[in-house]
Amino acid sequence: MVENIEYIFKVIENRALNAKTRVMRLQGDGTIFTAPGQFINIKVEGKFLRRPISVCDYSNDTVTILYDVVGDGTAEMSEWECGREVNILAPLGNGFDINTDSRRPLLLGGGIGIAPLYRLAKDLIAQGKEPCVILGFNSSREVCWADQFRAAGAETYIATVSGEEGTKGFVTDVPACKDPEKDYFYACGPMPMLRALCEGLEIPGEISLEARMACGFGVCMCCSLATKDGAKRICKDGPVFKKEELIWK
Amino acid sequence: MEMNLHKDLRVSLSGVELKNPVIPASGCFGYGYGMAEYYDINLLGSFSFKGTTREARFGNPLPRVAETPAGMINSVGLQNPGIDNVIAYELPKMRECYSGPVIANISGFSIDEYVECCAKIDREPQVEIIELNVSCPNVHGGGMSFGTGCDSVAEVVGEVKKVITKPLYVKLSPNVTDIASIAEAAVKSGADGISLINTLLGMRIDIKTRKPVIANVMGGFSGDAIFPVAVRMVYQVAKRCPGIPIMGGGGVSSARGVIEMMMAGATAVQVGAANLRDPYICKKIIENLPEEMEKLGISSLKDIIGIV
């Protein structure tokens, strides 16, 4: 079956959440997304490659992304004004599996990795599950989107490495992370955090990975990952992988 | 509207008839079936499948890609499932969504490997052209790329020609001082055509971490930025090897680029990195060609091959 993945969406919101992270809302057909944790690949004029960004939320006619301004491409995006048309490839990637037997899942996000957990939390709550969200940041200056998680009805904790807000340390230092009632975990964030969770948590789970990508839709082999089931593409077979698929060297 | 222009896009590569000259380049289109999820790839002239080696290869460590102004650098490292798996699993999946002629891109690290892979792929009915990637290092020749010396190119072409029946196109590395002499050596040794250019060796450094962006340090530079180099090399080879068909590629991302490459001497045109930014680029180029031909007073693309 042939399916179009190229769309023109329109910027309807683009503002700073703090000095590092921004939120952008785009108007377009949000019904194309099939699971939380998918991503879009955004064309930036003057840049050869697109910018792959996780979907934070979507509605019938919008998609929301969170992004850090880390280089020229995201700096350019931060200048986009409302009304601007943006060429995106979507929906990309597999997304999280929300059809597990879990009743009380942990959702663990580090830095900008919190973004895909938001829609995930909303979908899990809609299923009658009780997600517990733990958001990790370097400092209080980087904390964002916690209010949105709380407003969605998720029990939400914060950890900061600096100790300025919430628990001092990493997401794994938050007591809820070790709560024996928790029966599954979903995580997205820096690799050391994901590794610590996969190796430290006894419960089953899945994690969303990122990598430098060229295409984002499965043909260039720039984001290959060696798994227990052989080589997988983070963009197409992922970005979400089950804990048991992964090999940590 | 384009349909009413009655433009003739057909070209012929060593007797293989293509309905248009647009060919996705190896490594930018997988084995076709992945791209067929996004559009009907039967509209293509042909496509060159992922570089295939004798053994399965995982390829290089990540990161494998870096961005550049108007291009990119990649060091995938010939990740592929190996020739036997390609024949057993990839080509049957390809056949389900594509019925046109296919170009088999074969890589090797020794003459034996090229010969064995080419002999196997030559027996596949849908493979109509074999494209030999001679940019790999020769493990028996001190690691120098086969493609950087006239003698090593001539040797591998001569040995492969003994075991195949399909037309053989040699895909040349641009990382040489005299591309025309290497093309000439390939042709003298029996190559039916030339494909060029492969990627230019490039490198980027992350100035914050003070480390190369790509794990393998260096990689192949492609994209719009290399277009003028590719046009120049196609032109040089076309002049040196008259009558030898050329698949020209390197930085092509528009119908106008296709026309320019053909004017330089290409019979067909490969589109590589542009597919990675826009999965629909080949479809758009093919749809746009009649209109661009009309503007330029071209009725048949065959008429402009090597006109410069």
Tell me if chain A has a CB within 8 Å of the CB of B68. yes
User: Which spans in chain B are helix H?
Assistant: 83-85, 91-95, 111-122, 150-161, 179-188, 227-240, 255-264, 274-277, 281-296
Confidence of residue A1 (pLDDT cuts 50, 70, 90): confident
Distance CA B300, CA B302 (A): 5
How many beta-carbon pairs under 8 angstroms link A with B?
96
User: Under a CB-based contact definition with an 8 Å cutoff, are residues B30 and B102 in contact?
Assistant: no
Pick from B73, B21, B26, B27: nearest CA to B261: B21
Tell me what pLDDT residue A157 has.
98
Q: Which residues of chain B have pLDDT under 50?
A: 1-2
Regarding an ipTM greater than 0.90, the answer is yes
SS3 B207: coil
**What confidence tens digit (pLDDT) does each residue in A26-50 have?**
999 999 999 999 999 999 999 999 9
- What does the pLDDT look like over A141-173, one tens digit per residue? 999 999 999 999 999 999 999 999 999 999 999
Interface membership of B64 toward A (CB under 8 Å): yes
Q: CB–CB of B280 and A213 under 8 A?
A: no
Catalytic residue of the set B136, B150, B241, B282: B136
pTM comes to 0.96
Taking the CA of residue B195 and the nearest CA in chain A, the distance in Å comes to 20
Q: What is the pLDDT of residues A121-146, one digit of tens each?
A: 999 999 999 999 999 999 999 999 99
Q: Are A143 and A165 in contact (CB under 8 A)?
A: yes
Average pLDDT over residues A189-206: 96
B117 assigned to active site: no
CATH of B2-59+77-199+224-304, one of 3.20.20.70, 3.40.640.10, 3.40.50.300, 3.50.50.60: 3.20.20.70
In this prediction, residue B143 carries a pLDDT of 63
Contact assessment for residue A84 and residue A8, using Cβ atoms and an 8 Å cutoff: no
Question: Exposed, middle or buried, B203 (CB in 10 Å: 0-12/13-18/19+)?
Answer: middle
Question: Each residue of B120-158: pLDDT tens digit?
Answer: 999 999 999 999 999 876 667 666 789 999 999 999 999
Q: Which tokens hold the place of A126? A: 């809609």
Which one, of B209, B279, B268, lies nearest residue B35 by Cα? B279
Between positions 212 and 231 of B, the ones with CB within 8 A of A are 213, 223-224
Share of chain A above pLDDT 90, in %: 99
pLDDT digit string, tens, across residues A62-71:
999 999 999 9
| pLDDT on residue B142 | 64
CB B168 within 8 A of CB B192: yes
What is the reported pLDDT for A249?
82
Contact status, residue B76 vs residue B51, Cβ threshold 8 Å? no
- The pLDDT value given to residue B267: 98
Reduce the DSSP state of residue B42 to 3 states and report it.
helix
- To probe the interface with A, which of B33, B52, B67 has the most A CB atoms within 10 Å? B67
Domain boundaries, chain B: 2-59+77-199+224-304
The H or E element containing residue A78 is helix A72-78
* Residue B135 C-alpha, separation from nearest chain A C-alpha, in angstroms: 18
State the burial class of residue B85 (Cβ atoms within 10 Å of its Cβ: 0-12, 13-18, 19+).
middle
Q: Would you state the structure tokens that stand for residue A115, as one six-digit string?
A: 């973004």
Q: Are strands B102-107 and B47-48 parallel, antiparallel or unpaired?
A: parallel
Which member of B72, B79, B275 has the closest CB to residue A48?
B72
Region at B246 (left for phi over 0; alpha for psi -120 to 50; beta for the rest): beta
